[in-house]
Structure 1
Amino acid sequence: MKKKLLALTLAALMAMSLAACGGQSSTEPAQESKEPEAAEPAAQTFTIGICQLVQHPALDAATQGFRDAVVEALGEENVTFVEQNASGDSATCTTICGQFVTDGVDLILANATPALQAASAATGSIPVLGTSVTEYGVALGIDGFDGTVGTNVSGTSDLAPLDQQAAMVKELFPDAKTVGLLYCSGEANSQYQVDTVKGYLEDLGYTCTLYSFVDSNDVTSVTKTACDASDVLYIPTDNTAASNTEAINNVAKPAGVPVITGEEGICAGCGVATLSISYYDLGVATGKMAVKVLTGESNISEMPIEYAPQFTKKYNADLADALGVTIPEGYEAIA
């Protein structure tokens, strides 16, 4: 009996042991949880508002150079350009830049002086880069301008050496006596250029007279008055003149009065020669500045105005031949 009881007890103990083992084996050891792989941060995207004063070859080239440089650095898929043209109207520049501020763009490109003035007035926080602007101190009314605006504004200048442009008049037309300086009175940087060039020309012995038009409506009449009283005309980097080269040429060419210009686009339309920059390259330089601002590499308030690295003497072969102007060596024909 005792043996039978002992056997039953051992059997019960074995059954309990097996049950315990079975329960233990059915429970899988906890797997070590893996940390989810960190997703790559999404690329930054930017919206850039472009306010271009008017459509003409120089400003168009600057805008294209800007866009190309930004896209190359940031990728086309990461940049949205909102491009607006003011058709030569300063008030429209104000409207365009105001809308950019309302829309909260990340940066404004202001192409030409009135566009820069409008953008600067519209915002003190959104970065503004100018291009095709001759003198920032004049454009923004900064006394004692030292090359850095110091606010949310910077950019590039299209200022060519004005003393060398005056010397070009002397090189090509040493026997001329009178020079008429033709420009738009509504463009502050045009006024600055003609005032400066006038001084250089007078030092070279020329008698100079300023002839200003208000807008496109009086370009023809003012040009005729200037041609009647001048041996040579000089036109600075003036946006209104650039948009009306055909009208100017239709007066100056029949009158036999040659024109020296401040940039290549105007020269191609009505000039004989120019000391000019590449506006495309100027736009590229501005685009590179924009990338530094957008990515946080540079603080726009500390960025000095940048200038064109080189200047080229160019001439309009067809017009030079038509007017009998001999072009010396060292000039490149406009393509």
Structure 2
Amino acid sequence: MGHVGIIANPASGKDIRRLVAYGTVVDNLEKVNIVRRVILSLAAAGVRKVTYMPEYYGIVAGALENICSRHRPDMEFVAADICVTGTQVDSFHAADAMASSGVNCIITLGGDGTNRLVAKGCRDVPILPISTGTNNVFPTLVEGTIAGLAAAVVARGLVATAPAINPSKKLVIYKNGQPLDSAIVDAVVLKDTFIGSRAVWDVAKIRRILVTRGEPHNIGISSIVGNFMPVTPGEARGVELAIGAGSLQIRAPIAPGLIECVPIQNGKYIKIGEVIEINEACVIALDGEREVEVRQDEKVQVQLTFDGPKVVDAAAALRAAVAQGYSCIKDN
């Protein structure tokens, strides 16, 4: 009854922003603890199969190892059939393999970067993102126990529509007319001409910001938008900002503990389907990490769509399931 995937990124929450800002390190032992609670909740709610991403730390194996015999789950655990590289691409391949194997819901542990890769591979499978990364705009702070219960009611088909499962937006990057990559939160045009350090933390290098969402309570580059022209995840629009000398400065938390004043030239809302031209040599960062190098002779476009992954709202999913009586245990 129900098949759930688990993608726990052992590298999330450990990038350079721990040095230049004041972010908390979510170590892999804590990820093991979270996954242990997820597994126990999945088992209690009737899920009988889990497919997980194999990785160098062994997060799922560690979670299972220390569950006492009284609580040992009666579940099948299968490693996703991927070639482990120890890089971020493993998250994409794991999501793709899970979608092919019939997983009904994927739980992720990571930040915006992890979920960007999962979103590229999960197809129509809903994802439930647990925040354990640096930039955590897309994933939410949800306790592992609750995340497991919510994923279970989705995987068992007890809930299947909004507000329990919601569509999301994304920014599709085209180079010379061909789709190249995508972002689920922000695409940031930088003055750099080569990728270098992947993480983005220096506001002085930013030229333009395009977002699917940005609210005042966010942390990261999207918080700049959130403190100037807020846009929520559910709105059928995004925002583009031009950064540089202008008449206005915005104070925003661009990294944990790092509040910067950012000069704004102008900004505008962009419609679903609208295409933004990038006609300059630059590097484009996607969801907080430098990914795309653009030469002067290359034509690059960014399009806002509502074709991002389906996302589980844990609280709404459990409310809907309870309304159907899923938590009631009847005597025989």
- Tell me the TM-score normalized by structure 1: 0.31
The structure with more strand, counted as a fraction of residues: 2
The structure with more helix, counted as a fraction of residues: 1
- Tell me the TM-score normalized by structure 2: 0.31
